[in-house]
Structure 1
Amino acid sequence: MDIDPARRNKKPRLLLETEREKLDEFIDSIHYSARYNDDQFEYRHVQLPKNMLKKIPTDYFDSSKGTLKLLWEEEWRALGITQSLGWEHYEVHEPEPHILLFKSVICKLLPWMYH
């Protein structure tokens, strides 16, 4: 489940202050799922208000899919998504493009670290 670099901007595209201001009204309506995990990653999904997508700059979108690109941390934080460090945007739920999927590596302590 590696990130396809072709699905994100070559480097983070930061929002202009005027672009950021247009998103402020939506920040309190962003919904964060409970966390769930497998053996390697912890996951969660973040649901943006549908109307928020209309205010996000077009170069954040993948025109071939009609969804947001995979966002760099600086980009999703600029949109108003707040999470602890270590989360990576790895997919957009295409049937519902306002739902962004995130993952974070599970840090497991090795047995020798307990002593």
Structure 2
Amino acid sequence: MYSPFRIFLLATLTSVLFVSTPISAKETRHHVAQTTVQKTIKADGSSIERAIVIIENDTMRGIAAEYSWIEEHMPEYRVVGQALLKKNDSVYDRIDVQNEAGDIRSIYFDIKSFFGMRNGKPL
């Protein structure tokens, strides 16, 4: 079974291959390489207070970065749920993941930088 990130990546690559207009090198670069994930000791994603901060200016690339982080750091887990949370002036994604043993964990991402954005502009 393919992970949601792989499905997203396949759909993106397919659309790039069949676009009739030329695409610049900047647009074809791998989106995860353009995304910054702030890494601090406290940002392990275990709570809102310890949320993993994604620095991105586009909703789709930000979501892809979340799934990429999960795939890299928790390969034995699969996504089983997601919720949008607002606290103070920030917006968070809570992504619930489950392993084959049935253990469920919630990972929190601070998505304020990209929520509702497309290429740096509000949707």
Q: Same fold (TM over 0.5)?
A: no
Q: Normalising by structure 1, what TM-score?
A: 0.32
Q: Which has the higher contact order (CA 8 A, sep 6+)?
A: 1
Q: Is the strand fraction higher in 1 or 2? A: 2
Q: Normalising by structure 2, what TM-score?
A: 0.31
